A = this chain, B = another copy of it.
Amino acid sequence: MLEMIAAHPFLSAAGPAAASALLAAAQLFSAPRRTVIFTPEAAPEALYLLLEGSVGLSMRGADGTRGLLEIIGPDECFLMPAVILGGTWPFGAEALAPSRLLRIPAEAFHAIIVQDSRLAEASLTHIARQWQGLAEQLVEMKLTKASERVAHFLTGRLMPGGRVAMPEPRAAIAARLGMTPESLSRVMHGLEAAGLVRLQGRRVDVPDAKALSQGARASGH
């Protein structure tokens, strides 16, 4: 069990010494759907590793409304920027599907990172990748239309076999893609009408991945 957790990409990048030190301070816990893992008001007191499930990372905008920044998948790590910067940040995290996660107190993380340069390097690489992820999403938001974003999202989640799992509520996916649940629904059914996907509740079948990524550009609807 613990060995499986130590195989987490971030921990293995950090090296065995840091991994076991972090694990010693960490707590493992489960979160059913809709559990609030972290509220925007509190100071970030821990770093989280998602082992299984799906977590939505949200952020309060200037006017108080909440927007979904990113959907975190298994084997990912979140809240690191907030833990590094310290202070209070308007982030929130909520389980979008039944999840298992590991909570690493910020104090432990800080204590270990100052004496383990490999952990520092792994953290640097990790945040750089996170930055890149947001950058791609930002450019996509700025210059592609909603239907293309949906198609791209689906292809990004494509499993071998042409299946796409969407365990999280539609409203969360819509928020991640910067659109309303209604628009998402219309686009998805439009893709189905065009024969590019087949909808089966929380699962989606993609017969031809190449057709999907190209066809969405043409069919505006």
**Chain A residues close to B by CB (< 8 Å):** 59-63, 65, 67-69, 80-82, 84-85, 89, 114, 117, 120-121, 123-125, 127-132, 134-144, 152, 175, 178, 217
Q: How many copies does the complex hold?
A: 2
Contact A85 B129 (CB under 8 A): yes
Dominant secondary structure at the A interface? helix
Looking at the assembled complex, report how far the CB atom of A141 sits from the nearest CB atom of chain B, in whole angstroms: 5
Task: Check B178–A141 contact: CB distance below 8 A.
Answer: yes
B129:A131 contact, CB within 8 angstroms: no
A143–B84 touching, CB < 8 Å: no
A84 cross-chain contacts in B, Cβ below 8 A: 124-125, 128
Interfacial chain B residues near A89, Cβ < 8 Å: 132
Closest B residue by C-beta to A59: B139
